[in-house]
Amino acid sequence: TDVKCEGQAISYTTGVSGDGPFTYTWLLNGSSVGTNSATYTKTSVLTADSGRYIVTIQGSMACPALRDTIDIDVNKAPQIVTQPNGSSPVCLGNNIILTAAAVNQTALEWHKQGVGSLTQSGTSYTSSGSTTADAGNYFVIARAQPACSDVTSSLFNVVINIPAIIA
């Protein structure tokens, strides 16, 4: 099975030898696609292009037709649908609560710029009892299905305010 991501190109060529000329019939899940060519190409696939491709090759003689098959799966690319947002500024000691959302991902991981991956994943990030070290830029990475690329969100800046104290 060949795995692709939506938007990628596919090109399959079947090889045949013998007495020609040859005619080629390309099918996807039993429906006709392609032209009378040894090569089937599509410049931008969709999930609807997943399935079994069969090419039937007929020579000029009355010999039986040949068949070749290939199976492909087309995955959707992840997409950030809600950029990270939440509480900021936050008073020192209060909780930081951030949210973000994505679709078509295998995981949604929270990161802090300059620190790397945080221990939480999913649509929300919570840090109890903020310290000045919690200030900074946060972002999420939507992890992709096979053949697709991960997607990184925009940055969300968390500011930690230090409350005034009576001296």
pLDDT per position as a tens digit, 58-82: 887 767 788 899 999 999 999 999 9
pTM here is: 0.81
Q: Three-state SS for 117?
A: strand
Residues 127, 110: Cα–Cα separation, whole Å: 12
Task: Give the pLDDT score at 163.
Answer: 86
Measured CA distances, 89 to 83, 84, 115, 155 (Å): 17, 14, 20, 15
Judged against a pLDDT cut of 90, whether residue 97 lies above it is answered with yes
Mean pLDDT, range 41-57, rounded to an integer: 95
Is the predicted pLDDT of residue 156 greater than 90, yes or no?
A: yes
Report CA-CA distances (Å) from 41 to 21, 33, 35, 78: 21, 10, 10, 24
As a whole number, mean pLDDT of residues 160-166 equals 89
pLDDT-derived band at 160 (thresholds 50, 70, 90) equals very high
| Mean local confidence (pLDDT), 97-114 | 96
pLDDT of residue 128: 94
Q: Render pLDDT for 110-142 as a digit per residue (tens, 0 to 9).
A: 999 999 888 889 999 999 999 999 999 999 999
Which residue in the block uniquely carries the two structure tokens 């840090």? Answer: 127
Q: Is the pLDDT of residue 21 over 90?
A: no
* Token output for 96: 């930081």
Q: In this model, does residue 145 exceed pLDDT 80?
A: yes
